[in-house]
Amino acid sequence: MKRALISVYEKDKKLFDFVSFLNRKGYQIISTGGTFQYLKKHGIDHVIKISDITSFPEILDGRIKTIHPNIYGGILANRSIEEHMNSIFYYKIYPIDIVLVNFYPFLEKKHLKSFQSLIEFIDIGGPSMLRAAAKNFLHVTAIIDHNDYILVKKEIEHNGMTSLKLRKKLAGKVFNFTSAYDSSISQYLLEEDFPIYLHSSYKKEMNLRYGENPHQKAAYYVSTIHRGAMRNFHQLHGKKLSFNNLRDMDISWKVVSEFSDPACCTVKHSTPCGVASGKNVIEAFQKTYYADDISSFGGIMAVNVPITRELANEIKDIFLEVILSPSYEKDGLNILKLKKNLRIIRINDPISDTLESVKIDGGILVQQIDRFLSHDYKIVTKKKFSNQELKSLFFAQKVVKYVKSNAIVIAKGTQTLGISGGQTNRIWSARQAIERALEKRKKDLVLVSDAFFPFRDVVDEAARSGVIRAIIQPGGSIRDEESVNACDEYGIAMAFTGERHFKH
């Protein structure tokens, strides 16, 4: 007689239907305490309690119930090795053909404040049984995912047993899950940013239409360990999200999250186009769109406050791929939903990641996220900042962190007027940012740089514009004095922060 060992935390109708199917197909069902009671209660009579197999009761509040030779011998015995089979039969151990287990939900219980309570959700028996079954996939079917019930049922129905191909696949899923499960526990206990072994635990959220380009396959995974804005959002409307959408959404939300006042940001190709804050969301949007209405076409827009009916009317005729907000007024949402393809996203969680990583060929780079933004600065010129210039400089500093190096942001008040980065030298970025700002015909602008000026040429370019009045940069170049002298020549105020914000 074939045997199936069933021991699950989650007990639902899918489980009942699957076990009923196995029962009808002549499988002898072995089960642990809670699962045993559930199956008996729901009318499956031919179930053997695991203690009847082990001849030993559950002890230590259930910590010991399946760890026994009568269980593991039945799972691990290689049916093609005569010595294995003689050994288990000598000890009156019978083979187990299916092992169906799901674990204590440690991943879902990480929020528990009590350390002792969370420890009880570290499963030992479940992973051990499944790993044993997966190791012996040549003969044993290991099931961790309830979505696989239908595949197993189909093969048993048609062939009387599962195929080697399916057993191998299911074994791979077991080790895939147990590695993520162990990773979550490891990170919780270590509490280290940079452990000896770097483990990641991500679950596939969706397949994407394609990657950065149509010939590249792609999928989106979310962390099983950390919270975060891009992990827990809700799409309210629109087409399926793309690889590029998600990357741009991440940047736009990070930018507006820097501000406590109502703020708006548009992003294109992972680069902020326009950013502004205002006394209300309408002002923030209008200033943002004015900053760069050309680049915003087909871009991503985020606001850090609810979207109102008034704002929806303002943006309804603009071509945007995605809109992000923490919430939407009902009338505003209905207006936006008239745009069939517009992806409307509600953000549920604040940004919470502390680390970021970049994959390189054969390795991975991991670093702390650049959260630092000091208001400490040292005036190095004869001219000092006005209060308005200082407010504008601090505003632009929050934006420059998210622009690719070499990054230059030019602003007036709490509005960007020129953004440029991703150039191989700083003077090119400065020229592009200044050129864009000059199109707006504004005066008394400020300039922020993510890193020091290697030469005085950026100051010279700023002076030629006739509109730059104040500069903040990290300083630290061997030619800092040249830039300081240039500012004094032109009557431009400049300060050093001592902190750079490279974004490669």
Q: State how far the Cα of 418 lies from the Cα of 420, in Å rounded to an integer.
A: 7
What pLDDT is stored for residue 111 in this prediction? Answer: 60
At 453, which amino acid appears? F
On the question of a common fold for 3-190 and 378-496, the answer reads no
Tell me, what amino acid is at 231?
R
Among 41-45, 81-85, 394-398, whose mean pLDDT is lowest? 41-45
Please count the other Cβ atoms lying within 10 Å of the Cβ belonging to residue 263.
26
pLDDT on residue 383: 97
Q: What does DSSP say about strands 3-7 and 445-449: parallel, antiparallel, or unpaired?
A: unpaired
pLDDT at residue number 435: 96
Beta bridge partners of 324: 302, 345
The residues spanned by each domain of the chain are: 3-190, 237-347, 378-496
What is d(CA 21, CA 36) in angstroms, rounded to the nearest whole number? 16
- Which residues are within 8 A (CB) of 105 and not within 5 positions of it... i.e. 6 or more apart? 9, 121
pLDDT for position 452: 96
Average pLDDT, the chain: 90
Length of the chain counted residue by residue:
504
**Do 287 and 440 contact (CB within 8 A), yes or no?**
no
What pLDDT score was predicted for residue 72? Answer: 85
Burial class for 279, CB neighbours closer than 10 Å (0-12, 13-18, 19+): exposed
Catalytic residue (choose from 2, 84, 110, 135) = 135
pLDDT for the residue numbered 354: 85
Higher per-residue pLDDT: 61 or 69? 69
Residue 135 annotated to the active site: yes
**Matching CATH number, 3-190, of 3.90.1150.10, 3.40.50.2300, 3.40.50.1380, 3.30.460.10:** 3.40.50.1380
Convert the pLDDT of each residue in 405-451 to its tens digit.
999 999 999 999 999 999 999 999 999 999 999 999 999 999 999 99
Which residue carries 């099931």 as its tokens? 143
- 380-383, long-range: CB within 8 Å, 24+ apart, which pairs? 380/475, 380/480, 380/484, 380/487, 380/494, 380/495, 380/496, 381/484, 381/487, 381/488, 381/492, 381/493, 381/494, 381/495, 382/488, 383/487, 383/488, 383/491, 383/492, 383/493
The answer to whether residue 112 scores a pLDDT higher than 60 is no
378-496 fold: Cytidine Deaminase; domain 2 (3.40.140)
Q: Which residue has the tokens 């048993």?
A: 156
Q: How far is CA 239 from CA 313, 322, 339, in A?
A: 21, 10, 11
Is 237-347 a CATH 1.10.10.10 domain? Answer: no
Tokens 């003969």, residue? 139
Answer whether 496's CB lies under 8 Å from 365's CB. Answer: no
Q: What is the pLDDT of residues 148-174, one digit of tens each?
A: 999 999 999 999 899 999 999 999 999
Average pLDDT over residues 41-70: 77
If we measure between CA atoms, which residue out of 313, 269, 311 comes closest to residue 292? 269
Residue 463 — left, alpha, or beta (φ > 0 → left; ψ -120 to 50 → alpha)? alpha
Label residue 62 by pLDDT band (50, 70, 90). low
Closest residue by Cα to residue 175 from 140, 226, 135? 135
pLDDT at 124: 76
- Tokens for 459, please give them: 């100051």
Is-catalytic flag, 501?
Answer: no
Going by C-alpha positions, the residue among 329, 327, 279 that lies closest to residue 304 is 327
- Mean pLDDT value across residues 359-378: 88
Other CB atoms within 10 Å distance of the CB of residue 295: 18
Q: Alpha-carbon distance 219 to 483, whole Å?
A: 47
Per residue in 280-305, pLDDT (tens digit) is: 999 999 999 999 999 999 999 999 99
Q: Reply yes or no on whether the pLDDT at 9 is more than 60.
A: yes
Identify the pLDDT of residue 113.
Answer: 58
Please give the model's pTM, rounded to 2 decimal places. Answer: 0.84
Distance CA 53, CA 34 (A): 16
Separation of alpha carbons 422 and 504, rounded Å = 8
The pLDDT score that the predictor gives to residue 188 is 79
Report percent pLDDT > 70 for the chain. Answer: 97
- Contact, 296 vs 323, CB < 8 A? no
Query: Strands 408-412 and 415-420, how do they pair?
Result: antiparallel
Residue 95 has pLDDT above 70, yes or no: yes
Query: Above 70 in pLDDT, residue 370?
Result: yes
When pLDDT is averaged across residues 376-387 and rounded to a whole number, the result is: 96
Note whether 394 and 277 are within 8 A (CB): no
SS3 108: coil
Under the banding of pLDDT at 50, 70 and 90, the label for residue 239 is very high
Q: Which is catalytic among the residues 226, 269, 383, 503?
A: 269
